[in-house]
Chains A and B, each alone.
Chain A
């Protein structure tokens, strides 16, 4: 099956620094990738839709200047958490869409901001 990777899988950073998370589709191309955030013991919440070659579309309540998304190629989307704060600590998961109905999910990145 299709594989989506995320890097890093786990990151700890100091408050005020920026962190970049990569999402790659390894054996297929994806014009659309999604970024989700999952707080402990909660469901996935869609943050934004990443479209190759165009600006990302953000869900209501998500600060686009804080969560920068770049979809530079058909196999790579990046999420940069700028000026991270402890409340940004979460599990970030990306997915790559194939067709209309199928999303392949990455293994997630756990971000801890001290």
Chain B
């Protein structure tokens, strides 16, 4: 079964600084990986996804992530943090198996990383 591990439950950066949120995955098959953002008391919004095409994936709000098979990583970055980026970020991996399988389409989420942006 797949899993994702997010290193660091809290990350704090200054406005304008680089944002780096770490995610490592475990999967026996080429994974489909996702980053979601959650603002307080809201559902999740998709930032970007990796589906075995380009290893560098660009998402919304200036975020991007690079899939590195050798490191089993899918870290999320943004060159310059903005106050509005403060939120909780979740890395997720899609379940293995094809249509009809019990894991088809299911997402397994990491523990989440709370990003704080200081003025």
Interface residue ranges, A against B (CB under 8 Å): 4, 6, 32, 34, 42-46, 49, 57, 91, 93, 95, 97, 100-108, 110
Contact = CB atoms under 8 A, between A and B. Distances in A.
13 contacts: A42-B112, A43-B109, A46-B107, A57-B102, A91-B41, A93-B43, A95-B44, A101-B94, A101-B105, A105-B43, A106-B43, A107-B42, A108-B41
Contacts of A4: 43
A105 B44 contact: yes
A6 B112 CA distance: 23
A34 to B, nearest CB: 7
B111 interface: yes
Given A42-B112, A43-B109, A101-B51, 18 more contacts: A6-B43, A34-B106, A34-B107, A43-B110, A44-B44, A46-B107, A46-B108, A49-B106, A91-B41, A100-B104, A101-B32, A101-B94, A102-B49, A103-B105, A103-B107, A104-B46, A108-B41, A108-B43
